[in-house]
Structure 1
């Protein structure tokens, strides 16, 4: 293990003790926050000054511009940013606004990874969260970010900060922020949605198909998520029925420059990027969803398939653990070793011949088709796992059979 992996392991070892799952629905009303006064512009000459809750052009024009979004409440907070529910002033549409402070190279790297992944998608997918716009704010000035904008000095400085690994954006009294404006998902995350409702096989089947469709779309677009977990899977209910939205691309990797595999159809030739040929070495993700090879620091996009297998298995059988830091009940499967619970990926790394007990519960609603598919998704050897495109086809088959 590298020093970073050893630190991760030590942190995890302190929170392995399994606890009885306690339902703890989120409660409380957040206070109304001041508006977010940002405007979108494409070059340095048309920056917008943020001042006293209003937006003003930096140029000599005295025209006052109303804020585009009003922040309503905080809905999430992590190590690197805060997420707010907001409303677009003109349309009245609700959006999610993520604020990331870029005051350290590691934070800049996470912010740019998310921006590059979402901005690289030329098409939308129903099951991937949609980025409406990204705004860079520094020293009271706001500027719309565009992918690969070489004319923006601020954008180039961010990239340089990430590459050099040192802070060059200014002093602490001149903070730099990235604001991500995305579609709002009122159903919360997968943990909240599943654990606050009675078991529903129809919803489970729908979610399994949506999740595999989202991952296939990402891999087709050369994106490895690397942090698939229930926390990063949001639920939208705008259409009346729940719709999965894969989110949080801070650890994602855009695998550019790969070759294509041509697959001949009846009337056309489809080109699929072979993302599974791209090897990654940064051991990252969340312990309970990490594949064995990720713990070793040498893996491909097949790691996303393993994480998805953990999520689907836990969702079907409602297997949960209590996270020691947040005290939240989380969906996730694990292996018991005495009084401790160990992530499946780590347990398989320590004992590759171990046979997983799928299903885990005696009276499980899991069908034989899904059981066999999960066994393949959670194979120790990533070559034995289906890729995202094979998984999508097989998932259609097993869910229809069920």
Structure 2
């Protein structure tokens, strides 16, 4: 087991070193990550770069012959990336108004013997789903209709023999002109007949959106499973449920990992205490019930994408006037801190009991882990050898695999003002920075999502590496981390707060 973990860690380090070396060694006119405007790729001319992920980069482009219209050209960062061929095949099978159309694809050969795959898709002008909700403050009826269209997009995907495998708000864009949602980023997708491209226990995806059955598969193993988990349509629907819950409440559902303190909230008698309507009374009962259906720990209880879409459409038609009240007022309290992260639902716990036997008896031993940082929290005695390494690499690719279509919108965000840490927000320091929280005597950091790195406590930020410096973060192993600072001591003459530093 230790050999497997060491081999995986070594492989990840080699892959990262190869990526960094290639980016620095290639001249700009040959490096797919830094192509200048005017570069020709097939019949397309690049206009400007719009975003970059772990495996590809997105450019705005137009036809070389001057045909009007702007498209999104997605270019692989690594030669021979088979994800692009698989994504092109899946998109070629799909014809749905909520899925961007595949217009063209091919290979770019900047020099002999090197080929980078590319895709050209319909350009989507509009914000991401969560940003759209904060700006437009939709009603329950509008959310029902929007979710119905996304469920129809999943219905079309499943009917074509495909799976999306990374449904989440960042992979959904809402067109500014007519509020039409688009399901993006099929780079994590799969379809019948496609080859398996990863040896991970999980396929590419984002941990907070994983289904309970996926966690059951992984947590039952005492070592990395020989066969990877095979997701199904129910996994896509559960991820849609997490997306809908966060859209309505601006929070993630509670963590149901059997070793987490929030696992008790998934007992059958506790589910009604954290529904969407409980967390946001402006949510109508019909919408809340359908979100709860999508979040059911039982895959069969979610139904098919078609059944979900029909239920959403019917609820939107039959709902009363209360369904037209905006779900958000713009005055909701926001998480505190320099870099606020989406919160989880919190409910006052009952008196402490021996939870693990009760959970096992209730059949919740493999319930999902839905934490804001997406960390896999398994006790060290239960943890498969390479779990952290697998989860870290997977989480990094989850939102950006095959370029992360979340950047398929118009212009790049306005440049943020530099933060106080911008000058050192490249590589994570080799030792704690002044004022940073240190691990306790057992080598652990407090909190649910804090990790120990180089002697200090850190939390992972859910931002792309290209934005890490702007948010005051530090790059570490392909992800962006924020230091956890020790609370200041009181300024009074009373007893001082305990210092967590050793």
User: Structure 1 residue aligned with 2:98, among 100, 107, 127?
Assistant: 127
Query: Aligned equivalents of 2:62 and 2:98: distance in 1?
Result: 22
Query: Aligned equivalents of 1:376 and 1:88: distance in 2?
Result: 45
Equivalent positions of 1:3-402 (< 5 A) are 33-39=36-42, 68-89=43-64, 90-103=66-79, 108-121=81-94, 124-140=95-111, 174-237=113-176, 240-256=177-193, 282-295=202-215, 296=217, 297-319=229-251, 333-335=252-254, 342=255, 353=267, 355-356=270-271, 357-359=274-276, 361-402=278-319
TM-score (norm 1): 0.59
Displacement of 1:226: 0.6
Bigger relative contact order, structure 1 or 2 (CA pairs below 8 A, ≥6 apart): 2
Indicate conservation of the 8 Å contact 2:276/2:291, yes or no: no
Residue 473 of structure 2 aligns with which residue?
none
TM-score (norm 2): 0.48
Displacement of 1:102: 3.2
Report the secondary structure of 2:75's partner residue: strand
Q: Check 1:346–1:255 CA distance in 2 against 1; reply closer, same or farther (3 A cut).
A: farther
Alpha-carbon displacement from aligned partner over 1:227-259 (angstroms, at most 9, x marks no partner): 11111112334xx312111111112111259xx
Query: Aligned equivalents of 2:261 and 2:61: distance in 1?
Result: 43
Report the secondary structure of 1:390's partner residue: helix
Query: Aligned equivalents of 1:294 and 1:359: distance in 2?
Result: 23
Aligned residues: 270
Indicate conservation of the 8 Å contact 1:317/1:364, yes or no: no
Q: Check 1:190–1:347 CA distance in 2 against 1; reply closer, same or farther (3 A cut).
A: farther
**Higher normalized strand content (fraction of residues):** 1
Query: Aligned equivalents of 2:109 and 2:130: distance in 1?
Result: 35
Root-mean-square deviation (CA, aligned residues, Å) is 3.4
Report the secondary structure of 1:129's partner residue: coil
Displacement of 1:344: 7.8
Residue 149 of structure 1 aligns with which residue?
none
